[in-house]
Structure 1
Amino acid sequence: MEFRARDYIAEEASSSLHRAPTDDHPLLLVRPSSNQVDVVELKRNDFDDPLRRQTANEKNLVADVQDAAHISKRGLFSYYYDPHISQKDWGSFKTSLMQKFPASKMVSVSSISGVIIKSAKVNEKSSTKVHIEELNDPQKFTENEVKVISRLEYVERLRELKDEIRHAWGTDDRVTSLKLSIKVAKLLMDNSVSEFYPTLFILVTEVMDMLGDMVWERIKTKAECDNNGTRICSLPDYFQSCDVCSDAKETCYNWFCKIGSIHELLPRIYLELAILHCSRFLNDQPFDSLHRLTMMMRGLADPLASAYCRVYMAHCALRLRPYDIGYLITCFRDFKIILSNIIFENDAKSGNSLENRKQLIGLLEPAIEWIMKCIFKGPCERQIEDVLMEFGLGTTPSDLCGNLKCISIVVHHLIEELPAEIVCSHVLEIIKLIEGSNDISYDQSLNFRLLGFKLYEVRPEGELLDSIIGEVLQVINEYDDLDSYLKVADAYFDIVLQCHMDSYLAMILDSISRRTCGRDINENELSSLQSIFIKLLAHHNNLDDLFVLKHFVEILDVLHGNARDVVNMHILRKATRNACICDPATIQFLFEISQALHDGIDISNMRDDHQQAVRLITHFVEKVDYGAALERHLTFLLECRGAFGRINDLKEALVHSSNYLAVKAIKDANKFSGFVKSCIAFSEVTIPSVSANMMQMNLYIETAEVALLAGLVSHADGLVDAAVSCLRDLVQADGSQVAIDIDGIALLMQRLFSLLVVLPGNPERGAVYIPKSIISFYDDKPWITPRMRTRFLCSIVSLSATLSQEKLPYHVNNEEVPGNDIIFFGDPSYHQELISISRSVLEKLIDNIQLEKHSAARGNIALEACNCILSSFKASEETLLLCSKLIEIAKSCSNPSDKYLRSTINVFDKYVSPLITKIEINITKLNILSVNCHSHHGHPLLSTMEMCTL
């Protein structure tokens, strides 16, 4: 057995791909016939090339499409509305309403809600009595009698009533269905528990919608089928009343007559709204009914009942096509009257406290929001201007809806629903509206805040923007409340920063400093301050620009708790984005920030934010660079080791930084000797405190490489021994923890062997002492997989083959560190030792591979071992036999067309060709010998195979 001689430089040159510089963009297509480059216009719209810009023609095309969409819209009070979108919006509205007003556990039930009591069952009556009393609701309790039931019981009873209505309808008892529906609608007359009213509204309207759908389907069936139920026609989606037969119209008319006969106003309105869309069977202009119902609702004295009844009307009207919004304008005028009566009510005369009035307004707010959403859901931008005229905006800026005083909550939802472009065009008028609507219904500062966010979407320019910011800041400077001031300032902060309005920035920071001086900051104020600081950090590319801002550090010191941690992490993230951190003052500032973050980290229970903080602190340490002041940098690393000792990943970064400083000092002859030893000593002390053995081993190897580069061979020997000890600890562990990272262990072992190529061998211990010691604790561990052991054995073979070369593939870049090819040059015992350990390894290889249970894995490791042998040894009978066995194992486990198998066989064929040539020469010689023997002695000619056997 003999190692192959390798010419590493020639092998690298032969295997390298040809490289040539290019001046053309790699994503551009070149014409085959010329060097002209063309950009191919792709037909697919889903392909977005970030390197292509939108052309002017494309922009014009988009604008034309948008204009065409606007032109296709209908007039102000007549446009089509997508019913699927409306139902989705209604579902979202109901969900948000339930979340905003969760029902209490107990609900009082008055005599109005007697149908909820389970004992109150519908009495069976004769058909004559049913027709006489079908619309009457018998009183089950006296007016003063009130019972209390749980919320779950209330909801469950409503579900039972819904099932009873559906069951009665299914048995053609539509009179009972109507009667029960009336009883359900009457529940909305009971507002004894106002906080429960929104939930009750949702539950009742679900029953109303169900009834309306059943009535619609019955009338539609009448219009499309004959008396036998046979379909004779199909109504189109946009049918007209003339398309409906008289029988269906009569049925529809009867339903409206029955509902019109209900005594109580509220259930009569709800039932008519439930079947409102059925009026399309009778009338092509169903919106006349909406205006009539709007007037009827003025008879509802209770504010809650009146408001939510209008909400249900807007919901039901969405099913009409085309859709009108004129009635909604009237609803809003009525809303203003209701709200004004509540807001400006005299507490002493009414006995209604301020707190109760605010609570009532809070219950009414969803109704205002939904009506406003319905108004601005359909019209295009040009029609919105006409809608605003209906509100009075643009004609009388001091009055939003007629002659009544502006109401803050109405202004808020108006701004919320208006497109940002429209808000921008009316911004000065809207500011006046907000200033004039400072009442209990809504916090004025929140309206200014909402306006700021709207303006940020379009960002006015020039004098208009300056006037807006100046006007807003002038108003909020009068606020004594820090929370209100910060909320408004935060909304306009992006505009101030991005438009470089430095004077206003200084004004805001000065006001914040003045208001925060010497006082505690609550959670809401901390949240606003956090947002302001994050925007400041996002706007400035350099931390130095922030430090020169007046009051920046002063206001930062006011922050505490989670808000301070979040801002600190943003500061570290901003600082570590640059190439390096060199300024000593900045380093000290960031060090203190990192200490504050480190002190708040719970190592035993690492949350995501704590993990982010650990990464940022580690990244900060890695980015610090004191330039030529290497001693100061090493002192900084010592300080970090003491300050951040609980962070395991940081210790790894400290060792990397220390080794970097050592390499940097090696290049500086003046700092070479003592400083490098200090860096090596720092690493040697720090590495044992790292908890993970694999990380320790990696750091020991890295530090040994640095020590070799510095010519400190004795230090390198000690570090390599420490790395081997770490490997021993890994291998001798239980195996359950390290088995999952077998590849990581194998890579570390290969890195160690790569270092052994240039580490000067110790003649006293032997050139392969370390590989031999590793073999000793690899053999007796059953948890080590055959794949891992095979890779380890092959690594030893590759190391031995490399060390046997007359010229090693690489050397330490230090003349004081001789290579093994120089130390052991011409020493036959050295080569014999390498051959000996390789032969012992190869003896174990086949048996180890056969232990692999999975056939695919067994075939792969057999090919790995074969390639290792082919690249390490010259062709011989011994290696030929071993490689043949490995290839046979691979063939039995792999597909014959497997590329890895085929390429290995090709290499093997080239490998054995010199040996075959040699055998052919020997065969020729034997043939000549046999001829001579036959001619002189008379013996028969021996066959070629027999001669080879001999």
Structure 2
Amino acid sequence: MAASMVFRPRNYSAEEKSHSLTRLRANDHPLSTSSSSSHLQVAVVDHGKKDFFDPLRSLDDNGAVSGEALQEVEISSSPGLSSEASVQNSAKEWTSFSRILMQKFPVSKMISVSSMSNAIIKGGKIYEKASTSTHLEELEDPQKFAEEGVKVITRHEYVSRLHELRDEIIRAWRASDRVTTLKLSIKVARLLMDTSVLQFYPTLFVLAMDIMDTVGNMVWERIKWKAEFAEDGNKLYSLPENFEASDICSDAKETCYNWFCKIGAIRELLPRIYLELAILPCWRFLLDRPEDSLQRLVMMTRGLADPLASAYCRLYMAHCMLKLPSCDKGYLVRCVNDIKSLLSWVMLRKEAADGNIIDNKRLLVSLMEPTIEFIMKCIFKDVSQKQVGNILVELELGRNAMELFGNFPCVSIVLHHLLKELPIEVVSSSAVGILHVIECSNDYSFDQCLNYRLLGFRLCETKSRTDILNAVADIVIQVVTQYDSLDEYLKVVEAFLDIILQNQMDNHLNATLEGISKRASSKGTTEDELGSLQSVMVKLLCHCENLEDIFALEHFLEILDVMYGSSRSTVNVHILNMATRSARICDPTTIQLLFEISQALHDDIDFLNVKDEDNQPARLISRFVCMVDYGTEMERHLTFLVECRGAFGSIRGLNETLIHSSNCLAVKALKNGSKNLSFVKSCIAFCEVTLPSISSHTRQLNLYLETAEVALLGGLVSHSDGLINSALGSLQNLDLMDGSLMQADVDGMLSSIQKLCGFLVLVPGNPEVGVTHFAKNILALFNSQSWMKPKMRTKIFSAIISLTATLSQNKLPYHGKVLGNDHLFFGDLSYSHELTLLAKCVLQNLVDAIQQEPSSAVRGRLALEACNCIATSFILTQEISSIYTRLLETAKSCSVPAQLLSVALARKEK
């Protein structure tokens, strides 16, 4: 039997030498600049694209890209918008503003209506005052609705009635019933006199303004049609975009004048103003300077007694002004000054006995705020630097255009929106003056801290002079020191922190962090304060380059300790991200701090329900564990790994990292000498305990093999044998048929088995269980799995045959630190006999597995691979030659290319 199967002797050193390519030293690196003119340089084909840039092309002497490689692209400035485009843009802004306005002030389901809302009362379903408290609970002021005669209507019915009125107006217009159109429009405008339910007023305003704009557009189109068409419908003239009053025929002018006369005859002031504003652009048909009519309208609005109705009327005026070709900004400034007067009156009004008067005032101010915001945007839209000074003087914030922002008080909420819209150049150059105005403008219309905060953010928009920033920071730090509230303190500090960090104001930074720590520690933190704290901490982390600089900051860790929840987790992620940028983490104190931070992050996140691709915290913690290095204190490092295993049990994949780290520690100890063998055993024991928790069978197998290699490197043969047995045992109950493994996992497991066969070349055979013990276990394991495909069986059987052939050599191709089988069993006939018997058995299994492959193409390819394995492993005796020929016939019958068959035949002849 032995004579019929003989292993081919191999001289691995001679084979390596004969197959190695001759090596020549290169004079230049292929990507270096000195080789750019060499004939070896690869030509870049850019197909004539002048802007093509190849990063591997050579650089010039200054390191700049050559002119041929990169062209400078000129960006032309976009032309200014035409007046028509500007109007369309303004319309879009108004639509967006209106939508936000309605969302900002939600209202209850039931709304009270007064006698002024007769258009709604007559058309809608009215509910008398409920006897129960059901409806009263939905009203904003139950005390008010306790009065007799008050009626309520649902919000939905109110809105529906307004839509009905709009449809009625359009129907009347299309029926040429101009009188009805005007009457219905007056009714809609009259609704805006009713401010009984404050929070509903913005919604009412938006809906009513939509109707006003619709009426204005219809009147405009009607007069424009009269100017361009004859009574019979023939077009006479096309008005240019910038037409003048002289271009309009007398009939169109008469119609236009008639509309203004009808509106001027309206008795109530508010409806009269609104309707004239709705047709404000129609003054263009009568006047070359239609904006001249605005002076009268601005004065008329001063006759409106209700501050809320008056403010929103001015808001609509600003909207209508944008429809004119040009407009003096002074009219808008007067609107703001008038609103300032209204706000001052509201805030100075004496309190009644009702204790809710302050809250009602604050609500009224908040409802008036959008009017200030929009008008301020209009004022500073496309304004020149020279105009800004004049505007500020008109807003009573300076003596002249050169002396701005002195000690001039301003209503706080007006100042806020002014500061938001000012050009950044003005803010930067006048920052100290603005601070004085903020200090003088301290009223409850707006939190003063928010104005300081806004100034800080505006100053971050550009590079300001250092002396100005230092002066501003000095003043602001003195101001916030007086704040007891952590929320107010953080709002200001967060805005100025970038300025403090970028200008290295260390004294202010220390004072700021001390102030945060003091207030947070004494009173705790709310959700809003946590958001600001998170922003402050992240800014500190982004500014500092090294983690040691962060931990060295006074009060940083104290502030971190008072944080919790998602804000704390976000800061912890940033800290770990910063820590893991370096190569190693060696300082024990830093390691302990990062371990505690990682543990807090782990406890705050449910890692089991987070997808791996989205699990940045888990990746950072694993990265941190990998980077820890205790140097010569290897026992402390192993203890650290044990602590990590207990602390981070929910993180998938971390145990793999721990096993890798433990094996690296063991190898590091072995390099320092055999005296650390007991420590190596501890590392291996750690791995053996941790390995069963690995869920992936393929990864578990690889880690078992990795640990077995480390054990063998340390001469721990029995440990290595046990780990190999455990590796095979982990696959004993594996069932691929349940669909738990993808094809990639199957391929990975096959690769691991082939790797195991390669590793077994180093493992000394055990005479007590047989030198082929592990190879037989592999064979038995995969022979017992009925689900295994022939392709995989063939590759495993080929790997076992190659293993037996290698072990039969008088000199193995590679050795470990322990004696190999070529030394232990040299000349032992029983050893060679055992290998031959195993090889014969496996060879028969190999041939059978190939014949079982259902795919003809795959079967032919497997037959050729088996021929290659046989040719390199055995001398072609008669028995082997018969098997070889049979496999070749199989390959040929499966239509394997003739070229591949000829190669296989050549191997047989050798």
TM-score range with shorter-chain normalisation? Answer: 0.7 to 0.9
Q: 1:814 matched to which residue of 2? A: 817
Give 1:585 shift.
1.4
Counterpart in the other structure of 1:525: 529
Which residue in 2 is equivalent to 1:840?
A: 845
Q: CA deviation at 1:726?
A: 2.3
3-state SS of paired residue (2:205): helix
TM-aligned CA distance change 1:35 to 1:811, over 3 Å: closer
Question: What is residue 514 of structure 2 aligned with on the other side?
Answer: 510
2:886 maps to 1:878:
yes
Letter matched to residue 681 of structure 2: K
Judging changes above 3 Å, is the alpha-carbon distance between structure 1 residues 744 and 179 closer, same or farther for their aligned structure 2 residues? farther
Aligned to 1:774: 781
Deviation at 1:816, TM superposition (A): 3.5
When structure 1 is superposed on structure 2, of 283-292 and 811-820 the one drifting more is: 811-820
Displacement after TM superposition at 1:210 (Å):
2.6
2:772 aligned partner, one-letter code:
G
Partner of 1:481: 485
Match of 1:93 in 2: 97
The question of whether the paired residues in 2 share the 8 Å contact of 1:797 and 1:841 is answered with: yes
Pairwise CA distance, 1:454: 1.1
Residue 912 (structure 1) shift: 4.4
Mark the CA change 1:586 to 1:120 in structure 2 (over 3 Å): closer, same or farther: closer
C-alpha contact 1:760 1:819 (8 A) present in aligned 2? no
Output the CA distance in 2 between the equivalents of 1:23 and 1:418.
57
* Structure-2 change in CA distance of 1:536 and 1:643 (3 Å): same
Secondary structure in structure 1 of the residue aligned to 2:530: helix
Shift in alpha-carbon separation, 1:498–1:36, aligned structure 2, 3 A = farther
Q: Which residue of 1 aligns with 2:576?
A: 572
Distance 1:184 1:641, change over 3 A: same
Q: CA deviation at 1:402?
A: 12
Worse overlay, 558-567 or 699-708: 558-567
Matches within 5 A, 1:328-727: 328-348=332-352, 353-381=357-385, 383-393=387-397, 395=399, 405-602=409-606, 605-606=609-610, 611-727=615-731
- Whichever residue aligns with residue 816 of structure 1, its letter is L
Partner of 1:126: none
Matching residue of 1:311:
315
Matches within 5 A, 1:840-859: 840-845=845-850, 847-850=852-855
| Alignment-mate amino acid for residue 772 of structure 1 | L
Runs of 5+ in structure 2 lacking a partner? 126-146, 872-880
Deviations 1:633-672 (A, max 9, x none): 1111122223333434322221111111112112221444
> For 2:164, what is the secondary structure of its paired residue?
helix
Instruction: Tell me, in whole angstroms, the C-alpha distance in 1 between the residues paired with 2:453 and 2:54.
Output: 39
Give the superposition deviation at 1:628.
Answer: 1.4
Cα drift, residue 287 of structure 1:
1.6
SS of 1:387's equivalent in the other structure is: helix
CA shift for structure 1 position 361? 0.5
Give the superposition deviation at 1:434.
Answer: 0.6
Partners of 2:157 and 2:89 in 1: CA distance: 33
SS in 1 for 2:339: helix
Can you list the C-alpha shifts for 1:826-870, whole angstroms capped at 9, x where unaligned?
9365356335424423433354343xxxxxxx96x5686467446
Contact 1:659 1:679 in 2 (8 A): yes
Q: 1:320 to 1:510 in 2, by over 3 A?
A: same
CA distance, structure 1, for counterparts of residue 354 and residue 400 of structure 2: 32
The alignment yields a C-alpha RMSD, in angstroms, of 4.4
| Amino acid in the other structure paired with 2:99 | T
TM superposition shift of 1:583: 1.0
Whether contact under 8 Å (2:537, 2:571) holds in the other structure is yes
- Are the aligned partners of 2:407 and 2:440 in contact in 1 as well (CA < 8 Å)? no
In 2: Cα distance, 1:89 partner to 1:11 partner: 79
Give the distance between the partners of 1:809 and 1:166, measured in 2 at CA.
99
Tell me the amino acid that sits aligned with residue 313 of structure 2: C
SS at 1:730 equivalent = coil
Shift of 1:555: 3.2
Cα-to-partner distance string for 1:326-354 (whole Å, 9 max, x where unaligned)? 31111111111111111222225999822
Query: Aligned AA for 2:160?
Result: E
Cα distance between partner residues in 1 of 2:259 and 2:655: 81
CA distance in 1, matches of 2:164, 2:53: 51
1:183 Cα deviation from its structure 2 partner: 2.0
Task: Give the distance between the partners of 2:646 and 2:191, measured in 1 at CA.
Answer: 70
Q: Does 1:804 align with 2:805?
A: yes
CA distance in 2, matches of 1:207, 1:905: 86
Per-residue CA deviations over 1:611-647 (Å, capped at 9, x if unaligned) read 4443333222222110111111111112222333343
Q: How far did residue 398 of structure 1 move?
A: 13
Equivalent residue letter for 1:200: L
The change in CA–CA distance for 1:869 and 1:379 in structure 2 (over 3 A counts) is farther
Residues 908, 579 of structure 1: CA spacing in aligned structure 2 closer, same or farther, 3 A cutoff? same
- Among 171, 178, 183, which residue is 1:179 paired with? 183
Is contact 1:601–1:610 with CA below 8 Å preserved after alignment? no
Contact 2:860/2:894 (CA < 8 Å) preserved in 1?
A: yes
1:148 paired with 2:149, answer no
Do the aligned residues in 2 keep the contact of 1:399 with 1:433 (CA within 8 Å)?
Answer: no
Q: Is the 8 A contact 1:79 1:324 kept in 2?
A: no
Q: Which residue of 2 aligns with 1:138?
A: none
What are the Cα deviations for residues 62-115 of structure 1, in whole angstroms up to 9, with x where unaligned?
99967xx8xx889xxx99972343233223312321222112211112222232
The 2-side partners of 1:773 and 1:517 are apart by 67
Residue 820 of structure 1 and its aligned partner are, at CA, apart by: 11
CA distance in 1: counterparts of 2:263 and 2:606, whole angstroms: 67
| Alpha-carbon separation, structure 2, partners of 1:234 and 1:49 | 62
Conserved? CA contact 1:866–1:887, under 8 Å: no
Contact between 1:803 and 1:821, CA under 8 Å: does it hold in 2?
no
Aligned to 2:268: 264
2:781, 2:229 → 1: CA distance? 91
Task: Report what 2:168 is aligned to.
Answer: 164
Q: Which runs of 5+ in 1 are unaligned?
A: 122-142, 851-857, 889-903, 919-950
Which deviations, in whole Å up to 9, do the C-alpha atoms of 1:21-54 show, x marking residues without a partner?
537569x996799999999997659999999979
**Partners of 2:582 and 2:307 in 1: how far apart?**
60
Asked if the contact 2:393/2:401 (under 8 Å) is kept, the reply is: no
The 1:436–1:149 alpha-carbon spacing in structure 2 relative to 1, beyond 3 Å, is same
Alpha-carbon separation, structure 2, partners of 1:173 and 1:47:
72
What does residue 923 of structure 1 align with? none
- TM-score with structure 2 length normalisation? 0.83
What secondary structure is seen at the aligned counterpart in 1 of 2:646?
helix
Report if the CA contact (8 A) 2:585-2:628 is conserved.
yes
Q: Is the 8 A contact 1:256 1:272 kept in 2?
A: yes
Whether contact under 8 Å (1:697, 1:723) holds in the other structure is yes
Distance 1:651 1:342, change over 3 A: same
Deviates more, 1:368-377 or 1:538-547: 538-547
Inter-CA distance 824–387: structure 2 relative to 1 (3 Å threshold): farther
Q: Decide which moves more: 829-838 or 673-682.
A: 829-838
Q: 359-368 or 821-830: which moved more?
A: 821-830
